[in-house]
A and B are shown apart, each in its own frame.
Chain A
Amino acid sequence: MFMKFLRIKAIAKKELIQIWRDPLSLALAFMMPVLLLLIFGYAISLDVDNLSTIVYDADRSSTSRELIDELTASGYFSVVRFADSQREIDTYLDTGRARVAVSIPMDFAKTVRTGGTAQLQIIVDGSDSNTATIALGYLSALTELYSQRIAGERITPLIETIVRVWYNPELKSRNFIIPGLIAVIMMVIAALLTSLTFAREWERGTMEQLISTPVKPQELILGKLLPYFLIGFIDMVLTVLMAVFLFDVPLRGNVFILGIVSGVFLFGALGLGIVISIVAKSQLVASQISMVATFLPSFLLSGFMFAISNMPVPLQIISHIIPARYFIIVLKGIFLKGNPLRILVMDAIFLLIFGAAVFVVANKKLQKKMV
């Protein structure tokens, strides 16, 4: 495993020149994280509010209007239409113009006044199950409150629940998504950048030229990795700065630890791209494999947005070998929880092992192909 620094430097320099000559790719490498972060920060939110709601008020009494006001005042529902008939509700839900329908029967106010039990019908478009679940939760809380109020009694419930939310007290989805997104972006950039490096050399026939030089596999890998490491790290700094200053995501932990763990993660991610590149030998194949091996798992199986505890057991087991899983724990820990190193050390060690393993595999594969 003897390596010459000079040769690594030479390879890195060659690679840098090649990157520099392709300014479009370089620009895309910096635009991608910025664009993704902007979209996630500004455009996307899992918070459920302003749900388009259609109301069929057959009663048209002050009581029923009061209920409707209560729903809109909550901010979760915005009434897009007052229907003239029950049929209209069907049309609005079918065409997706409304996601929630509230139907108030004709004798609503009268029944309530005489002390009977009035029936209220609520229909939710369940095709988006997440929004529907949350909307139903809001609706039952609101109607229950309303029901208690018009009953004129404010019986203190037997059990009062005191709820406290830690780390993200306002439950902003932005705070939850952005730290995890940094890991996904790093993984995507790594896949896009390195997965084509060796494949390109093979395709263009320049690999043979490299083989004929005295450069050793490990030197070649490190030399090719370094420039991309630089780009990746700049992306990393860029995203962290944007998260903190543009999106006000709290950064409660140690920035220095964040930097080191990010470096370790980046090394492993780039290394994985290189392994793919060595094995695939063709750019088309490499791009497809890297999609399946890096982007999809880090996006979907890492706990970035979808809780791992919800997945079936085999997928939970698979998630253990996905580096993004550990990096996301570290990122969320440092950003939101202000975790000390003591708590994050196991995750960092795993990332280190992953990086080392990937480097060894890349070496072995390249050695075989170079002979």
Chain B
Amino acid sequence: MKKTSERIKQMVIKEFIQILRDPRMKAIVFVIPVLQTLVFGFAVTTDVNNVPTAVFDLDKSFESRELVRRFEASGYFNIRVMPGSPAQVQELLDRSTVTVALQINPKFGTDLLRRIPTSIQLLADGTDSNTATVALDYANRIIKKYAQDLAGPPSSLSARVDVRQRAWYNPELKSKNYNVPGVIAMVIMLTSLLLTSMAVVREREMGTMEQLMVTPLKPVELILGKTIPFALIAFFDMILITMLGVLLFDIPINGPLLLLPLSTAIYLLSVLGIGLFISTIAKTQQQALMATFLFYMPAVLLSGFMFPIENMPVMFQYVTYLNPLRYFLVIIRGIFLKGNGIAILWPQMTALLLLGIGVFALSAFRFKKRLG
């Protein structure tokens, strides 16, 4: 047994030398997770703020200006232009210069002074349906609040139900709290898949696989030697992203931190297994790259990373049960945001473990067969 561990160790060392010999590769192992975290933390936000807005004010009264001021003060709307004609409004929306246009009719102010119900027009560019939905909701609230303020204190009859709204786990509803932990899962998956599948295929493409096979290395040792280095890189990336998330983006860690490496290890079992599997199908690195992508994209899209699983048709919801990313995302977000412990997360961890053992065993079997 001592020999086995020695041989695996040598193989791991060789693999590390090979990956990191290229100085650019060293940079890549470090740069990719950092870049992804930065982009997801800063850019990928579905929070709707600063919506570019045009105001077509035909009234120019104190009241209309007050309403516009409230739009601006809310922080949700950024008033870019004050167009002078309907044609200009159309042009602004066509050119995507603004997303929302507010049109205030000439008698708005006088109507309000006389307490006559009046109307206001809200135009939205529906191209981005998400932003439009949220922006319209904000706009409606601002207008309603203004109308209420003008109408004076509510009569004792109105507003009989007082609604207390609270958002748990992420009270300020920040996108980054949701996204950054997810990046750990994404980065680990992409780098591990690509590195494993391409490294094995390269060995075959260059003909060095034969050399490895004539050594006393057993197939199992070969598989472990090929996967352990990438597992270590994945752990490094995980720690890196966690540190960035906590230090730079103030992502809370509400749960037991120790659960993170444990679940990462379980998750890696599936991911490396799939990487090995791809390497048994692909003959060239090009094929490995494309096959990796063919798996990776659907896996990300059908994981609940950006798109809620409940919204999917039932058939696709079943497909997601085969996706290791799905379980790992629940675990990571549980640990970071919800403060979940093993008592709550054990079903996900068990599922991930079973999936991992299954995939890894299947791949190892195919891998061995291809060697023999």
Contacts and interface: CB of A to CB of B under 8 A. Distances in A.
Interface stretch (B3-11, B143-151, B262-270): B143-151
Interface in A307-324: 307, 309-312, 315
A112 B161 CA distance: 8
B72 interface: no
B357 interface: no
A21 B65 CA distance: 69
B195 to A, nearest CB: 8
A285 B294 contact: no
A158 B165 contact: no
B369 interface: no
Given A43-B302, A285-B28, A315 B43 contact: yes
B45 A310 contact: yes
A118 B202 contact: no
B147 A157 contact: yes
A165 interface: yes
A192 B158 contact: no
B1 interface: no
B110 interface: no
A25 B165 CA distance: 52
Contact of A171 (B35, B126, B330): B126
Contacts of A50: 310-311
Interface in A44-69: 44-52
Contacts of B282: 24
Interface residues of A, number: 117
A73 interface: no
Contact of A28 (B150, B161, B290): B290
A28 to B, nearest CB: 4
Interface string A92-129: 01111001000000000000100111111111111111
B173 A122 contact: no
Contacts of B36: 296
Contacts of A160: 117-120
A85 B286 CA distance: 57
A128 B123 contact: no
B329 to A, nearest CB: 10
Contacts of B117: 156-160
A94 B338 contact: yes
A206 interface: no
A24 B302 CA distance: 24
A39 B306 CA distance: 13
B147 A287 contact: no
Contact of A118 (B99, B162, B294, B313): B162
B286 A122 contact: no
Given A22-B287, A159-B120, A166-B125, A147 B164 contact: no
Interface stretch (A3-11, A136-144, A219-227, A361-369): A136-144
A164 interface: yes
B125 A311 contact: no
A254 interface: no
A167 B125 contact: yes
A332 interface: yes
Interface string B121-137: 11111111111111011
13 contacts: A22-B284, A31-B294, A43-B312, A94-B344, A115-B156, A133-B46, A151-B158, A158-B148, A163-B124, A176-B126, A284-B202, A292-B31, A297-B39
Counting from the closest, the 9 A-B pairs by CB-CB distance are: A126-B167, A168-B126, A126-B170, A137-B137, A130-B46, A165-B126, A129-B173, A158-B147, A28-B290
Given A143-B163, A165-B125, A176-B127, 8 more contacts: A112-B160, A127-B169, A134-B134, A158-B117, A285-B22, A306-B46, A307-B48, A311-B43
